[in-house]
Amino acid sequence: MTEQLRLMAVHAHPDDESSKGAATMAKYVSEGVDVLVATCTGGERGSILNPKLQGDAYIEEHIHEVRAKEMAEARDILGVKQEWLGFVDSGLPEGDPLPPLPEGCFALQDVEEATGALVKLIREFKPHVITTYDENGGYPHPDHIMTHKISMLAFETAGDPTRYPEAGEPWQPLKLYYNQGFNRQRTLALHEALLARGMESPYGEWLERWLTAGRERTLTTFVPCGDFFEIRDKALIAHATQIDPDGGWFRVPLDLQREVWPTEEYELAKSRVGTSLPEDDLFAGIRNN
């Protein structure tokens, strides 16, 4: 392929792009790939998770603007482009029974209608590859599950001239992947490596939960991107309301991560090109066509 390769990562909230596949995106940017993050919501209902910023009245009152600025900083660190789809954060309902979702939020939108915004962006950017979440959302946040739904429908309809004719000239992406960076294989490898070094592991409870979680996801694609883990972490720290720089995300030394598990993982969900599994490149089957 002689034209510039293009990758679109579809995420639910600002900060998701930095915690899921960020090193992969930074790697591809360094290779000249055009990378665009599509952020479905503004994160308006996200909690302030960094204990150092909790209770800050300005942040609480202006959370939408603050998270937009954090997104801009992370975007610049990763070297990617970024667009907002303009939906409103649904929040994460808690309690028993669960409270209803707020009126007008992303997760309550009609799937067909909401998909139109993503189809328009796909037809404008013309990605060869799209990454998104699996049917469980990676974890069952209503916005993540809705992101999955519109991503799947957009992949199927963006190339169909009879669907969303107002959204521009048709464009058919060639591959769609689910982010699977939080997988048992990686977690177990890092857990055992930490214990072997006499260090405390933050993954004990995660592994216990996996014992009762049922079947594991199929990992098809392992992208080598260890050289970009530091950029990933800087982008994540830029989302200061969401991430404690002294928290569990950063307890595993980068040198250990690069030695033990220097990849980010994906599950190939749809492909319009031939490829051989496992892969080490999201563009496998596309580069040589």
The predicted structure's pLDDT at residue 1: 62
In this prediction the pTM is: 0.95
Q: Is residue 42 part of a domain?
A: yes
Q: Is residue 287 part of a domain?
A: no
Q: At what angle do helices 229-238 and 22-30 cross, to 10 degrees?
A: 120
Q: Is residue 72 part of a domain?
A: yes
Q: Is residue 213 part of a domain?
A: no
Mean per-residue pLDDT over the chain, rounded: 95
Distance CA 21, CA 225 (A): 10
Peptide linkage before 253 cis (omega within 30 of 0): no
Is the model's pLDDT at 250 over the cut of 70? yes
- What strands, in cross-sheet order, belong to the sheet with 221-224? 81-87, 34-41, 6-11, 129-132, 175-179, 263-271, 221-224
Give me the mean pLDDT over the 78-104 stretch: 93
User: Which residue bears the tokens 């996996």?
Assistant: 210
The predicted structure's pLDDT at residue 277: 97
Give the CATH number of the domain where residue 51 resides. 3.40.50.10320
Residue 289's pLDDT band (boundaries 50, 70, 90)? low
Give me the mean pLDDT over the 55-78 stretch: 95
Residue 119's pLDDT band (boundaries 50, 70, 90)? very high
Q: Is residue 247 part of a domain?
A: yes
49-63, 101-115, 201-215: the lowest-pLDDT one: 201-215
User: Which residue bears the tokens 């990992």?
Assistant: 219
Q: Is residue 282 part of a domain?
A: no
Q: Is residue 206 part of a domain?
A: no
User: In this predicted model, what pLDDT tens digit does every residue of 134-174 receive, in sequence order?
Assistant: 999 988 899 999 999 999 999 999 999 999 999 999 999 99
Percent of the chain with pLDDT over 90: 84
Instruction: Report how many domains make up the chain.
Output: 1
8 A C-beta contact, residue 266 and residue 223: yes
Range of the domain at 105: 6-182+218-271
Percent of the chain with pLDDT over 70: 98
- Annotated binding residue at 144? yes
- Annotated binding residue at 62? no
Q: Is residue 24 part of a domain?
A: yes
Give me the mean pLDDT over the 27-51 stretch: 95
The predicted structure's pLDDT at residue 95: 82
Is the model's pLDDT at 211 over the cut of 80? no
DSSP letters along 228-261, please?
Answer: GHHHHHHHHHH-TTT--TTSGGG-S-HHHHHHH-
Residue 209's pLDDT band (boundaries 50, 70, 90)? confident
Distance CA 166, CA 146 (A): 22
The predicted structure's pLDDT at residue 2: 67
Residue 288's pLDDT band (boundaries 50, 70, 90)? confident
Residue 214's pLDDT band (boundaries 50, 70, 90)? low
- Annotated binding residue at 239? no
Peptide linkage before 51 cis (omega within 30 of 0): no
Give me the mean pLDDT over the 59-67 stretch: 94
User: In this predicted model, what pLDDT tens digit does every residue of 228-248 receive, in sequence order?
Assistant: 999 999 999 999 999 999 888
